[in-house]
Structure 1
């Protein structure tokens, strides 16, 4: 019985460690002098004049916390965060949106507009860091058809999540209806002025969320 309790305790602590988002960020991202290392990619901060951060998802605040810790000593950046709630402590330079989930709300719409504007102003000397986690599809949303209203978007979001389709099938449809999915965020800046992009995803189906 003691062995079973010890095993259960071990599993419990390993599970907590696995879902510790800042710790997961530190495993994915680290700083070596002026360089940022993420997996097999390396970015030298000396090559950039600006850093822009876009954090979207239910774990957005935790991913930002992990980013700040991983980049210590602190590297200044600006950007936008779309999450279900506002943070207990805001990071200077970031604009926050209490966006809707599972259905997008007005803040989801504002977040998408802000992020698109931010990305369109990037240039070749800009490093853009995307922090994506689950729930991003609703937390940041803007219709591809400019004639659609927020109510229209909420209706087709609701239809998609209640129709019994898989998340991959839902995301396939979403990317044809959304101005911020299907790779449109990554190509928001004009090609001749496009900077470097570093994307970090945590959670399920984040690839289809942006």
Structure 2
């Protein structure tokens, strides 16, 4: 029996189309940068009409927001999938930093696209659209991990929100540095950063 009109099949097709356009946007952002990433160029890369992009997105800002959200989810899920969540929290943190550092090689295009959106997407008043609220889900997950470490006794007492923001800031700076210095060994950087962070929060 075929799916009814407007049912699951149509939803699947729409999700695939949106994903196709978002993937093309990542490619274009990586190749030509934010300013030159026009909807026409993205449509050509996706092999769709420009009108189809307007069907799914209200304009470039809407598309760029969707690309940033989708890309951040892809990157964070990729790191999370490689973690042993049953391991002691300090080991989880070290593995997470290594996984993040590996993104500089495995997901370079996605990182470039996200970086360019975060630094170029602004509201009508000129303020950045990708504020700290963009990371809220990430902060909450990190806070939960820090709290578990405190309960288990592997981490000392500290403000988990402050540490989550500090941790994410360190990850962002690491990725920016690795992008600018591709000669740097990602995991060596990650291990050095892990040592610094854990020396400050691990219970002695």
Task: Give the TM-score, by structure 1 length.
Answer: 0.30
Greater strand share, structure number: 1
Greater helix share, structure number: 2
**Higher-Rg member (1/2):** 2
